[in-house]
Amino acid sequence: MPLFGAAMHYWRTPRALWRRALDELAGLGVTVVESYVPWSVHERAAGTYDWRGDRDLGAWLDEVHAAGLVAALRPGPHINAELTCFGFPDRIVRDPDIQARAAHGGPVWLPAPPRAFPVPSYASARFHDEVAGWFRAVGEVVAPRQWPDGPVVALQVDNEPQMFFRSGAFDHDYHPDALAAWRAASGDDDDAPRAWSPENAATCARWVRWKDEHLADALTRFGAALDRAGLDGLARFGNLPPGEPWFTDLPRLERAVGGPVGIDVYAGAGALAKVRRRALHLVGSTAHLPLVPELGCGFVPYAPPFSDDDQRAVTLALLAGGVRGFSFYMGVTRDRWMGGILDEEARPRPTARWVGRLLAALAELDWTALRRRTRVALVLSRADARHGLASSVLDPLPPIVGELMGLGAGGSAELARDPAAALHRRWFDAAARALDLAQVPYAIVDEGAGLDRFLAHDAIVVPTLHRVDRALWKRLGEAAAAKRVVVIGPQTPSFDEWGEPLGDDAALPRRAGFMRPGSVDDLAGLADDLAALAPVDDWYVERPAGILASVFADPAGVVRALFVTNPGERAVTARLVVPLATSLRDALGEEVLTEEQGVVAVAVTAGDVRMFRVFQKK
Rounded alpha-carbon distances, angstroms, from residue 257 to 120, 185, 446: 20, 20, 17
In this chain, which of 106, 233, 501, 518 binds another protein, going by CB under 8 A?
106
Closest CA to 77 of 113, 114, 43: 43
Least distance CB 106 / another protein (angstroms): 5
> Residue from 179, 360, 397, 606 that binds another protein (CB under 8 A)?
397
Phi, psi (degrees; rounded to nearest 5) at 386? -65, -45
Residues, the chain: 618
114 binds another protein (CB under 8 A): yes
Smallest gap, in angstroms, from Cβ of residue 358 to another protein? Answer: 23
Torsion angle defined by CA atoms of residues 299, 304, 308 and 312, in that order, rounded to the nearest 10 degrees: -90
Q: Which of 201-209, 227-235, 411-419, 603-611 is the region at the interface with another protein (rule: CB under 8 A)?
A: 411-419
Nearest-Å Rg of the Cα atoms of the chain is: 24
Q: Least distance to another protein from the beta carbon of 7, Å?
A: 20
> 222 or 246, CB closer to another protein?
246
Closest approach of another protein to the CB of residue 102, in Å: 6
90 near another protein (CB under 8 A): yes
Binding of residue 104 to another protein (CB under 8 A): yes
Q: Measured from the CB of residue 272, what is the shortest distance to another protein in angstroms?
A: 18
Binding of another protein at residue 406 (CB under 8 A)? yes
Per the CB < 8 A criterion, the answer to whether 111 and 405 are in contact is no
Least distance CB 376 / another protein (angstroms): 27
Q: Collapsing DSSP states into helix, strand and coil, what is residue 416? A: strand
Q: Of 369, 534, 352, 521, whose CA–CA distance to 443 is shortest?
A: 534
Q: Which stretch binds another protein (CB under 8 A): 223-231, 247-255, 409-417, 475-483?
A: 409-417
Question: DSSP class of residue 352?
Answer: H
Query: Which residue lies nearer to another protein by CB, 115 or 511?
Result: 115
CA gap 353, 28 in Å, rounded: 9
Least distance CB 77 / another protein (angstroms): 18
Residues 67-86 touching another protein, rule: CB under 8 A, are 85
Residue 164's CB: how many other CB atoms inside 10 A? 25
Among 153, 272, 415, 476, which residue interacts with another protein (rule: CB under 8 A)? 415
Contact 331, 343 (CB under 8 A): no
Kindly state whether residue 93 participates in binding another protein, applying the rule CB under 8 A: yes
Which residue number, 73 or 92, has a Cβ lying nearer to another protein?
92
Q: Which is nearer to another protein, 14 or 113 (CB)?
A: 113
How far is the C-alpha of 314 from the C-alpha of 511, rounded, in Å? 40
Nearer to another protein by Cβ, of 120 and 321: the residue is 120
Q: Is 518 in the site for another protein (CB under 8 A)?
A: no
* Residue 107 contacts another protein per CB under 8 A: yes
117: helix, coil or strand? strand
Least CB distance from residue 203 to another protein, whole Å? 19
The SS3 call for residue 181 is helix
As measured in angstroms, the least distance from the Cβ of 433 to another protein is 16
- Is position 394 an interface residue for another protein (rule: CB under 8 A)? yes
Position 393 contacts another protein (CB under 8 A):
yes
Regarding 303 and contact with another protein (CB under 8 A), the answer is no
410 binds another protein (CB under 8 A): yes
The DSSP H or E segment spanning 256 is helix 250-257
Please name the residue ranges forming H helices in 410-505.
Answer: 419-437, 451-455, 470-481
Does 103 contact another protein by CB under 8 A?
A: yes
Contact between residue 607 and residue 270 where contact means Cβ atoms under 8 Å apart: yes
Other Cβ atoms less than 10 A from the Cβ of 350: the count is 10
CB of 422 to another protein, least distance (A): 6
Does the footprint of another protein cover residue 66 (CB under 8 A)?
no
Strand partners of residue 304: none
Q: What is the dihedral of CA 495, 380, 242, 325, to 10 degrees?
A: -140
By CB under 8 A, the residues from 323 to 342 that bind another protein are 338
CA dist 177 → 64, 76, 127, 232, 595 (Å): 41, 21, 11, 27, 65
**92 or 564, CB closer to another protein?**
92
For 347, which DSSP code? P
Distance between CA atoms of 92 and 99, rounded to whole angstroms?
8
- Based on the shown chain and the rule CB under 8 A, indicate whether residue 300 belongs to the binding site for another protein: no
Indicate which single residue of 66, 303, 405, 482 sits in contact with another protein (rule: CB under 8 A): 405
State how far the Cα of 8 lies from the Cα of 151, in Å rounded to an integer.
Answer: 14
- Nearest-approach distance from CB 38 to another protein, in angstroms: 17
CB 304 → another protein: shortest distance, Å?
12
Contact between residue 409 and residue 429 where contact means Cβ atoms under 8 Å apart: yes
- Between residues 93 and 431, which has the closer beta carbon with respect to another protein? 93
Q: Which stretch binds another protein (CB under 8 A): 38-46, 408-416, 494-502, 550-558?
A: 408-416
* Closest CA relative to residue 331, chosen from 304, 309, 310, 359: 359
Cα separation, 358 vs 379, whole angstroms: 32
- Of 118-137, binders to another protein (CB under 8 A) are 118
Cβ burial of 114 (10 Å; 0-12, 13-18, 19+) is: exposed
Say how many residues touch another protein, by CB under 8 A: 37
Nearest to 340, CA basis, from 326, 353, 325, 330 = 330
CA 197 to CA 35: how far, in whole Å?
44
Which 183-212 positions form the footprint of another protein (CB under 8 A)?
195
Judged by beta carbon, residue 408 or residue 501, the one nearer another protein is 408
Cβ closest to another protein, residue 414 vs residue 497:
414
Instruction: Give residues 338-367 in contact with another protein (rule: CB under 8 A).
Output: 338
Among the listed ranges 16-24, 410-418, 553-561, 569-577, the one in contact with another protein (CB under 8 A) is 410-418
The correct pick among 14, 27, 47, 115 for binding another protein (CB under 8 A) is 115
Residues that bind another protein (CB under 8 A): 85, 90, 93-94, 102-104, 106-109, 111, 113-118, 171, 195, 301, 338, 393-397, 405-410, 414-415, 417, 422
